[in-house]
Structure 1
Amino acid sequence: MPIPPYVVHLRSMVGRELLWMPGVTAVVLRESRDGADEVLLVRRSDNGQWTPVTGIVDPGEEPHVTATREVEEEACVVAEVERLVWVSTSDVVTHQNGDLAQYLDHTFRCRWVSGDPRPGDDESTDARWFPLDALPDMRQLFRDRIAVAVDNPADVVLGPLTSGASRA
C-alpha cells in the first residue's frame, strides 16, 4: 500500500506509534441498467477484504477532494460528492507492517459520473459494482457506512451508530 510521503516522514520520527489521521470513505452509488441501486467496492490488496474506497487526507487537502481523488486512483471511476453523511472515529488499526493508526473518517455519499471500475493502483486487486441487496462479505463498519450513505439522511451522523448517534 502506498504510504503518503508526509506519513513516511512522521513514521521516521515516531516509528510504529499511534498516529491520528484524517480519512475518507467514498460510498459511490449508481443505478444499474435494470434500475437497481449499486455500490462501488474495491478488494484491498493488503487484506483481501471488500470495502468502499477509503483514503488518507493529504495535508491541506479538502476531505471531499480526497474522496473523489481516491475513487479515481483506486478504481478508475470518476465520481462526484453529493454530501457528507457521517463523521466518526475508527478503532485503532494495526496495519500489516505493525504501524498503529486511528482515523477521523468522513464518509461521503458520491454518485458515479463515468468509468468502468478496475484496479487503478496497487492498493486494490479488484473493483466492481455490487447490488445493494447482494453485498459481499465485509466488516460491519463498512456496511454501516454504506447504509448511512444510502439512507441519505438530511443531516450528518456524528459518532458511532451503535451508541445513539446524534445528527448535526
Structure 2
Amino acid sequence: MIADRYDAFFLDLDGVVYVGDRQTNGAASALDRLRSMGKDIRFLTNNPTDGSEIVRRLKELGIEAKEEEVVTSGTATARVLADRGIGPVWVLGHGGLRKAMTDAKLSLAEAPPCEAVVVGWDDDVTLGQIRRAALAIRQGALFVATNEDPTYPSSEGILSGVGVVVDALIAGSGTRPLSVGKPWTAMFEQARRTLAPGKRAVMIGDTPYVDVLGAHRAGIDAILMGSAETYPGKLDFRNPDGRIDKLGDLFDDAISMGVWDSPTYPWPESVEPGVAGVVLDESGRVLLMRRSDNGRWGIPSGHVEPGETVQTAVVREIREETGLEVEVEELIGLYSDPVSQVITYPDSRICHFVTSCFLCRVMGGSLITSGPETLDAGFFDPHDLPEPLMSMHPRWLADALAPSGRPFVR
C-alpha cells in the first residue's frame, strides 16, 4: 500500500483534508492511522497566514495538528526573507501575514522606503498602495509574492486571489516576483527541511497545476486526490504519479503508483514560437554571435512578433542582431524538444520554444560585431566553432549541413 512507501506525507488542505466547513471522507481517521505508523505529517497551504490560524481551524474540524506541522505561504515567505536577512518589509496583506513576518523577527515598514514588498491577500489593498509598491520595486525593493493563485474557491463561488494583485504589480513595476507558495519550490523545501535526513516524502493535492506541479518541481512524488483532469504529455510535470479518491485509499493494497523521475529541464511557464537562421557565406562559413545575456555563441535566433510569418521574422531578427540582409533558402527543421528548447532567462522567465530554423544566404548589409544584444559576431568554419555554444545550436547546424532529408522535426 502507498502508506508503506513513504516516511512523510505533505498534504494540501482545501479539497484534501477539508472542504469548506467539513473534513473530507475519513480524513481524521486516515491521518491518525498515518501517525500511528510513525509517519510525519505536514500541511502545506497557499493561505498567506500564520500557522496558528490553520491549527485552530483543523482542530475545530476534529483533526489533530501542531503548529510546527503547518507550512503556509505566509510562514514560508517569512522564512525566506529571514534567511536572506532582509528588512524592513512592507506587507500588502492581512494581519495573519503580518504576524508571520513578526514571528520570524522581521521588521515591518508601514510604507516605502523598504527592502522588500511582500504581497499576500487583503481586501483593503488599494490602487494607491499598488502604485506606491510598484514604484518601490522599480527603485530596488525585492518583489515577493506569497503565491500567485489567481482565484480560490469559497461558499460564495470562485473569488479573486493573491495573483490578481501580483499581476497588477508585475504590470506596474515591469518585474517578476520571487514567488514562494505552490507551485514554486520554497514551501516544499522548507517542509522537507523539517524532516530527518533520508526520509522520503510524497505530496497529496487536488490541483494538478499547483500541488502536483510544485511537488515535481521540487523532485517529490505526487498523488492527485479527486477527479481533476490530467494532461496528455508524457513528461508533463502536472501529471500525478498516483491517484486516490480519499485519504483512506493510502491503505488500499489494490492502489499502486509510479515514481517521479525529474527531467533535465525546468518546467516552462509558456510555449512560444521562435525562429533561427543558419547563415552561410560564400566560403561555407557559418555566422555566429556571442550573446550579451549569457556570453555564449550561437546562431541568430529570436521571437515571432504579431503579424509576422516565420520567414519574415527570421529575416528581421538577423537584420536587427547582425546588420546583415539575408534571403531564406529553405526550412531546415522544426524543433520543440524540451531538453534543448526550454530556455531560462536572466529575469527567471522559463519558456519552451517551438523554433522554425532556416538556411539563409547573405544578400547585403554590413556585419555588426557588437551591440545591445551582441558581444561579438563573425563567420566560422563549421568544424572549428568557438566555445561555449548555446545548447541547441550544434543540432541546428548539423541538420543544416546534412546532405538531404530536410526538413527535420525534432
**Local SS of the residue matching 2:351:** strand
How big is the shift at 1:154? 4.5
How big is the shift at 1:31? 1.9
Say yes or no: does 1:19 pair with 2:257: no
List aligned pairs for 1:134-145, cutoff 5 A. Answer: 134-137=384-387, 138-145=389-396
List aligned pairs for 1:36-75, cutoff 5 A. Answer: 37-75=284-322
Please give the TM-score of this superposition, normalised by the length of structure 2: 0.33
**Local SS of the residue matching 1:48:** coil
**Local SS of the residue matching 2:305:** coil
How many residues align structurally?
A: 144
List aligned pairs for 1:6-155, cutoff 5 A. Answer: 12=171, 18-32=269-283, 37-89=284-336, 90=338, 91-119=341-369, 121-137=371-387, 138-151=389-402, 153-155=404-406
Counterparts of 1:64 and 1:18, CA distance in 2: 26
**Local SS of the residue matching 2:285:** strand
The gaps in structure 1 that reach 5 residues or longer are: 1-10, 160-168
The gaps in structure 2 that reach 5 residues or longer are: 1-169, 178-267
Please tell me the residue identity of whatever aligns with 1:106: S
**Deviations for 1:79-127, whole angstroms, at most 9, x for unmatched residues?**
1100111101143221011111110000000011123321474111111
Are the equivalent residues in 2 in contact too, given 1:119–1:127 (CA < 8 A)?
yes
Identity of aligned residues (%): 31
Q: Give the CA RMSD over aligned residues.
A: 2.1
**Residues 1:62 and 1:121: Cα distance change in structure 2 (over 3 Å):** farther
**Local SS of the residue matching 1:46:** coil
Q: After TM superposition, which residue ranges in structure 1, 4 or more long, deviate above 4 angstroms?
A: none
| Further displaced range: 84-93 or 141-150 | 84-93
**Deviations for 1:21-75, whole angstroms, at most 9, x for unmatched residues?**
100011001123xxxx100111100001000000100012100111111111100
Q: Which has the higher helix share?
A: 2
**Residues 1:115 and 1:66: Cα distance change in structure 2 (over 3 Å):** same
**Local SS of the residue matching 1:47:** coil
**Local SS of the residue matching 2:315:** helix
| Further displaced range: 43-52 or 91-100 | 91-100
**Residues 1:44 and 1:20: Cα distance change in structure 2 (over 3 Å):** same
